[in-house]
Copies of this chain bind each other. A is one copy, B any other.
Amino acid sequence: MMQCAIYAGTFDPITLGHFDVLQRASRIFDKVVIAIVRKSNKSAMFSAEERLAMASDVASGFENVEADCFDGLLVEYARERKVNILIRGLRAYSDFEYEFQMALTNRKLAPELETMFLMPKDSHSYLSSSVVREVVELGGDIEDFVPQCVEGHIRRRFPIRKTGEE
């Protein structure tokens, strides 16, 4: 079986936790698509274009990973791409119930679609995009939180404040 999987999300921005899940998925499946939700009901810190640029940079480090954007229902996107497997990272510190709810809703909308959960490295399990955004906004250091190639994209928009500056 040739198996392709979609790893969908807002990725606002991609964290080291996302990167770790991606890496694990890339070892198991023949191809993995990072699929960025263009319009999020949460107002995003980074535009869809910025988020796609980050994801493309991350994808370029893998042989079998592709970055893409989509609108509308994830299940429709998966059908268009003819992919049957969704990947989700499952962190102990994440909204576990939300993940289950989404997976069951997607299953109802598209029974042929299977959601598989992978665990990121334990030392990344506290990481989330919202924590990264909070640290970015307060001018903190993010090198332990995002892949190096993503840090550049963030710093272009949010240069590090020197202590003492407002």
Which residues in A have some Cβ–Cβ distance to B below 8 Å? 1-3, 24, 27-30, 41, 72-73, 75-76, 84-85, 90, 92-97, 100-105, 107-109, 114-119, 122-123, 125-128, 131, 134-135, 137-141, 144-145, 163
CA distance A119 to B104 in the complex (A): 8
User: Whole-angstrom distance from the CB of A28 to the nearest CB of chain B?
Assistant: 6
Q: How far is the CA of A72 from the CA of B165 in the complex (A)?
A: 11
Query: Could you tell me if A122 and B104 are in contact, using CB atoms closer than 8 angstroms?
Result: yes
- Number of this chain's copies in the assembly equals 6
Are A92 and B93 in touch, CB under 8 angstroms?
Answer: yes
Partner of A126, one of B27, B84, B100, B139: B100
Instruction: Give 11 new A-B contacts, CB below 8 A, not counting A28-B84, A122-B126.
Output: A1-B28, A24-B114, A28-B85, A28-B116, A73-B139, A90-B90, A101-B126, A115-B118, A116-B117, A122-B125, A123-B123
Q: Shortest CB–CB separation between residue A117 and chain B, in angstroms?
A: 4
